[in-house]
Structure 1
């Protein structure tokens, strides 16, 4: 299987000195104190921040909540996947990033200088779909088949775990953005694909058989998010930890109290059927605190998996990664 190649490529993106994807110089936002624009990277489209903090930002509440530490504006940059976001972090084009745990862990293990300050989402679900008409009926049937996944993502980690549990070796694991999955399955380019929960539900509704789901079949492989800041930014703005964590607490509390409004925001971020977006947007996935026992357990399980399979170059503990004072 071409498993290590994909995640090894992700790790290389975290090596200092690699070129980034263009943008503002590192000094444009971080500065050495005073007033500044906070540059945030996340996964998605349209340069819109997601989750409760994104909901707050859409209501004009995020910048005022961070103004006490000098934030005058927020610049959001979205990326199609974790490896692309890591390139921007390496290049000094971002101060803070919120994305999947797997690319964040692999990048840290490759020497990328970041500190973890929060987890905004836990129990991210995913699933494996098969092509129609004679496709595989179970994970065991993926032996010798072609399977697609957005490599370097929490979905990738889930897929590898499910395959390992079944003792299965596909002929090939192909990198494919989740948005391109349906076309590949329809053409028969791949026999199956692992995708996020919303894509899983959308494609199931179109008749693609679901053969495994993380929440039902492999709950220990569900994903979490990682909110990180660069070491350079943290050195100049140590108060970002407490400020961001308070924003996350307050935004999450308000989102849960105004759930219908939050769901409307979630629907506005994507081009999927509203009923399926609402089905896959779950309150329990939004932790009340920046770190929860459940989130830390899932995160450390992913770290151990990546270390054991040599996807992390240099082992580290979560305590080493978490920013000082970030976890009570």
Structure 2
């Protein structure tokens, strides 16, 4: 199945980037990483607005995150967004980021490839996704994906959901093609692919345009719901061990603030993600944003994702989640 090659290709990119990290770090990157004085915290995220999504992003927009990190000498937070997890992993491996907030799947793949990171939080738990078909002559079920072309943003939690759903149904598509979620509609409209797996907001947007929904992770495959991973590089952690407690405290405060002003938080989410307010309101679920950096449900989903990735050989080398995770007192 070509999906395996695509996922392993993303892993190979991480490995190649790791091998060139030492030679590729510029003096500017070294300075930005922080040396105990005033510094800019470089944060990677997924998106297209150079903005951090979720309550912590809202906290940053309101001017509350930087003061929460001031004791570390942080004077600014620079957010750089990437279209997909594998792209972010390249920047992380090249020493261009100090911290990243993205999907659990690319974070696990990178760690398994030797990426020197530590997990300090799961900001979001229960990320939903769905599979839609083209409007005319498309499949009507997961079983109908056999021998068909399916699009997905590879290396993402949506990709992991798609592969898990296909494996459970023992279905072999003709091809799994890498297409960014933002470009899926055009591919479906042209008939380049027969179906596509996309995040929940894209599901709602495409359903409204008449694309039939085949399956939804939260209904048919809740074990494949995604989580986000907040990771810090070991290099930055060594210099600033206080980042763990500071970031985790900031997440607690940010979630409390967002839930206390839900309309304001939704307005911020609308401003950065490009979807209409109605879709943002329908797909932004308060329960998906836990105050605590780690929850039993989040860690259970993470462990299941890692096991799947190891079994499918997408994680090159297995590792202990407890050893990867860093906790601090509340």
TM-score of the superposition, structure 1-length normalised? 0.97
Alpha-carbon distance in 1 for matches of 2:137, 2:329: 50
Counting matched residue pairs gives 327
Partner of 2:7: 7
SS in structure 2 of the partner of residue 55 of structure 1? helix
Residues 208-287 of structure 1: pairs in structure 2 closer than 5 A: 208-287=211-290
Shift of 1:32: 2.5
- Of stretches 238-247 and 262-271 in structure 1, the one that deviates more from structure 2 is 262-271
2:279 and 2:25 mapped to 1: Cα distance?
36
> What's the offset of the Cα at 1:327?
7.7
3-state secondary structure, aligned to 1:307: helix
Q: Which residue of 2 aligns with 1:177?
A: 180
Cα distance change, pair 66–193 in 1 and its aligned pair in 2 (3 A): same
Return the offset for 1:23: 8.0
Question: Structure 1: which 5+ runs fail to align?
Answer: none
Taking the aligned partners of 2:87 and 2:329, their CA distance within structure 1 comes to 28
The answer to whether the Cα contact below 8 Å between 1:83 and 1:152 also exists between their aligned partners in 2 is yes
Corresponding residue to 1:17 among 8, 13, 19: 19
Distance (Å, rounded) in 2 between the aligned partners of 1:254 and 1:32: 31
Counterpart mapping for 1:70-89 below 5 A: 70-89=73-92
Residue 143 (structure 1) aligns with: 146
Aligned partners of 1:320, 1:62: CA distance in 2, in Å? 27
Q: Which of residues 130, 148, 151 in structure 2 aligns to 1:127?
A: 130
| 2:101 equivalent in structure 1 | 98
After superposition, the C-alpha distances for 1:3-52 in whole angstroms (9 at most, x for unaligned) are: 22111122123221347999874312223212211000000012111110
1:13 is paired with a residue of what secondary structure? Answer: helix
Unaligned runs of 5+ in 2: none
Measured after TM superposition, the shift of residue 105 of structure 1 is 0.1
Distance 1:8 1:118 in 2: 26
Q: Deviations over 1:207-262 (max 9, x none)?
A: 00000000111001000000000010000000000000000000001101111111
Q: Give how far 1:65 is off.
A: 1.1
Deviation readout 1:161-196 (Å, 9 max, x if unpaired): 000111100000000000000000000000000000
Secondary structure of the structure 1 residue equivalent to 2:123: coil
Distance (Å, rounded) in 2 between the aligned partners of 1:310 and 1:195:
23
The whole-number CA distance in structure 1 between the counterparts of 2:196 and 2:78 is 33
Residue 206 of structure 2 is matched in structure 1 by: 203
Secondary structure of the structure 2 residue equivalent to 1:255: helix
- Kept in 2, the 8 Å contact 1:25–1:93? The answer is no
SS state of the match for residue 123, structure 1?
strand
Q: C-alpha offsets along residues 132-154 of structure 1, whole Å, 9 cap, x if unaligned?
A: 11210000000000000000000
C-alpha separation in 1, matches of 2:155 and 2:20: 18
Structure 1 residues 83 and 149, CA gap change in structure 2 (3 angstroms): same
For the 8 Å contact 1:66–1:244, the answer to whether it is kept is yes
Quick one: structure 1 residues 194 and 24, their matched pair in 2 at CA, closer, same or farther if it must change by over 3 Å?
farther
Q: Match of 2:324? A: 321
TM-score, with length taken from structure 2:
0.96
Q: Secondary structure in 1 aligned to 2:96? A: coil
Q: Report the 3-state secondary structure (helix = DSSP H, G, I; strand = E; otherwise coil) of the residue aligned with 2:250.
A: helix
